[in-house]
Amino acid sequence: MINSSEVKYIPAFLRPEEIENDAWALILSGKQLLLWQTENQLRIPKIKELKDNISINEDMMYIGRYDGFACYCKKADELQTLTEKLKAVELRDITAKTGDSGLFMLAGTANHLLHWNSTNQYCGCCGNKTADKIDERAKVCPKCGNTVYPRISPATITAVFNKDQILLAHNKNFKRNLYSLIAGYVEPGETLEQCVEREIREEVGIKVKNIKYFGSQPWPFPDSLMMAFTAEYESGQIEVDDFEITDASWYHADNLPEIPNTDSVAGKMIRWYRDQFNEMSN
Ligand SMILES: [Zn+2]
């Protein structure tokens, strides 16, 4: 299941009056994050550790506290390996390299908020420059009052079971020969369950039943919230849409193809299924 007990990040928008000495600095560039190599650990740099290498300024966005310390983030144009101690690490490698999956999600949250900040500099109603709202995380237009909150786009992801087999599909956008669960964005006017049914019908042509909630996970690339479900196969033959999904099949737990890592809810769910199957067969 999805573990929520190790919550290290506490979101906040109200900027402390002064930047604390031990505050973290999340510097992102594209799909990379800057990390600091200590003797025995790779971790987020402290602002004080970056002062000689990166311009730290009041424009950095405060996003709350991580592991007890204030967290500030900003985008940099380009991250090079600046010193022996400063490393530019791909976001997808953060968990493996630091052993801290919370840090991967924190970098994602910074990515989500920085993306929202940079795409809402002007009012969508009147075109005036927006300002940060002082009493909540929002942008407000001083001219017409239009208020814009960080957008969160809901999406469903579903593990479909056919007796002891799981449905896994290859999406044409996957870089490697990876197989995962069926996912898609919720349409306006749709319930989550309707979204699950529609996405599965559209992408692989089958009908499902007994849709049950499993858990949720933010997927801030740039702004999704994944809501995970399980469902049972009801009827139909697998027929891929060839638009998003290029291949899909039923797989046994002991013969899985390459699957996503445990940073994603898909990776967690497929392993949950595999572990349950292994327990049952022992
Ligand atoms: Zn406006």
Q: How far is the CA of 109 from the centre of ligand 1 (A)?
A: 27
Q: How far is the CA of 129 from the centre of ligand 1 (A)?
A: 8
User: Looking at residue 2, what is its pLDDT?
Assistant: 54
Q: How far is the CA of 119 from the centre of ligand 1 (A)?
A: 15
Would you say 264 and 217 are in contact if contact means Cβ atoms under 8 Å apart?
Answer: yes
User: Looking at residue 5, what is its pLDDT?
Assistant: 46
User: Looking at residue 80, what is its pLDDT?
Assistant: 61
- Domains belonging to the chain, first-starting first, are 9-118 (3.90.79.20), 153-281 (3.90.79.10)
Q: How far is the CA of 147 from the centre of ligand 1 (A)?
A: 8
DSSP letters of 64-87?
EEETTEEEEEEE-S-----SSSEE
User: Residue 48: what are its φ and ψ, rounded to 5°?
Assistant: -65, -25
Q: Which residues have beta carbons under 5 A from ligand 1 (an ion)?
A: 123, 125-126, 128, 141, 143-144, 146
Q: How far is the CA of 45 from the centre of ligand 1 (A)?
A: 38
**Tally of CA atoms within 13 A in the half-sphere of 194 that contains its CB:** 6
Name residue, tokens 């650990």: 41
User: Looking at residue 23, what is its pLDDT?
Assistant: 93
Q: How far is the CA of 251 from the centre of ligand 1 (A)?
A: 52
User: Looking at residue 215, what is its pLDDT?
Assistant: 95
Tell me how far apart the alpha carbons of residues 3 and 42 are, in angstroms, rounded to a whole number: 23
Per-residue pLDDT of the chain (282 residues; tens, 9 = 90+): 455 546 799 999 998 988 888 999 999 988 899 999 998 889 999 988 887 666 667 788 999 999 999 999 999 877 665 677 888 899 989 999 998 989 999 999 999 999 999 999 999 999 999 999 999 999 999 999 999 999 999 999 999 999 999 999 999 988 789 999 999 999 999 999 999 999 999 999 999 999 999 999 999 999 999 999 999 999 999 999 888 899 999 999 999 999 999 999 999 999 999 998 888 776
Tell me how far apart the alpha carbons of residues 111 and 148 are, in angstroms, rounded to a whole number: 17
DSSP letters of the chain?
----S---EEE--S--SS--TT-EEEEEETTEEEEEE-SS-EEPPBHHHHTTTS---TTSEEEEEETTEEEEEEE-S-----SSSEEEEEGGGHHHHHS-HHHHHHHHHHHHHHHHHHT-SB-TTT-PBPEE-SSSS-EE-TTT--EEPPP-EEEEEEEEEETTEEEEEEETT-SSS--B-EEEEPPTT--HHHHHHHHHHHHH--EEEEEEEEEEEEETTTTEEEEEEEEEEEE------SSSEEEEEEEEGGG------TTSHHHHHHHHHHHHHHHHH-
Q: How far is the CA of 36 from the centre of ligand 1 (A)?
A: 41
